[in-house]
Amino acid sequence: MTIIIGFIVVLGMVFGGYMLSGGDMGIITHALPFEGMMIGGAAVGSFIAANSFANLLGAGKSFLKAFKGPKWKGSDYIDLLNLMYTLARMYQQNGMLALDEHIENPQESTIFSQYPKLQKDHFAVDLITDSFRMLALQFDDPYQAEDVINRKLKKHHHEALTAPHGLTTVADALPAIGIVAAVLGVIKTMASIDKPPAVLGAMIGGALVGTFLGVFLAYCFVSPLANRLQAIEEQDGIYYAVIRDIFIAILHNHSPAICTEIGRGNIPTSLQPSFYEMEEARQAMPEAA
């Protein structure tokens, strides 16, 4: 929502200030479709050429995410802590055999099914189940396990940032693409050098729209969009880091309550549930009844 408000403010202030200062929108509106076609088309085409089909699909999904905002809300972190508390308690009380049916088939698990949003996130589910599978394989050294999980998180984070990095590259290229469009406009003007000064002035003004549009799109739209996407991916990535922190705490043989408290401490402040909120949520869990 904030990104939409920001874009509206940008458009209102830039073009509002231009018109209030006596600027003629006629030249801009006449040249905009053609300059926009050249600049926008070149930017989109170069982005397609520089990325695989899979990356393009990911970029499309990320573009929507920029307007929806971060995936994980405060209530989702409460669900995650409750899930990890339940798994940690079952493991410490009854061993891996008690967890086997839930880890091997999380989509049918009575525990995972209590948290449908988490259950739909394949990476989160795989991270949890694969981590507990390491315990079943006697891979229970906390430091080695943390290294393995960090590698998975690094890979996922790198893939998640493909779209923001691609958009940043486009933003860097847009001013130069705008110059290309402006040069084409100058070439067109020079071919009409015998026209009256008023006509030539309008043609030069139209050519300069290309330079304006390239810089305007780069720094007022594409670059903020890329930064917003990166911030969202960074924030969403903390969700998976909390899973890691809780699991490593389990390997250190901390109690389930301490394990989830360690995870709670690493949740972003704006989304972090209080200690007492977690106590209430834990008491409301079916397992606690």
Kindly report, residue by residue over 164-215, the tens digit of the pLDDT: 988 999 999 999 999 999 999 899 888 888 888 888 888 898 889 999 999 9
Average pLDDT of the segment spanning 137-149: 91
Average pLDDT of the segment spanning 48-55: 84
- Judged against a pLDDT cut of 60, whether residue 288 lies above it is answered with no
Distance between CA atoms of 40 and 44, rounded to whole angstroms? 6
CB contact at 8 A, 19 and 25: yes
- Judged against a pLDDT cut of 80, whether residue 287 lies above it is answered with no
- DSSP letters for 17-44: HHHHTT--HHHHHHHHHHHHHHHHHHHH
9 assigned to some structural domain: no
213 assigned to some structural domain: yes
**What does the pLDDT look like over 155-175, one tens digit per residue?**
999 989 988 988 999 999 999
- Arithmetic mean of pLDDT over the chain: 91
20 assigned to some structural domain: no
37 assigned to some structural domain: yes
97 assigned to some structural domain: yes
pTM: 0.85
2 assigned to some structural domain: no
CB contact at 8 A, 260 and 273: no
11 assigned to some structural domain: no
What are the respective helix, strand and coil percentages of the chain, to the nearest 5?
85, 0, 15
Note the pLDDT of residue 289: 35
Distance between CA atoms of 214 and 62, rounded to whole angstroms? 23
How many domains is the chain partitioned into structurally? Answer: 1
Residue-number span of the structural domain to which 145 is assigned: 28-288
8 assigned to some structural domain: no
Average pLDDT of the segment spanning 23-36: 88
**93 residue type, one letter:** Q
Distance between CA atoms of 89 and 11, rounded to whole angstroms? 54
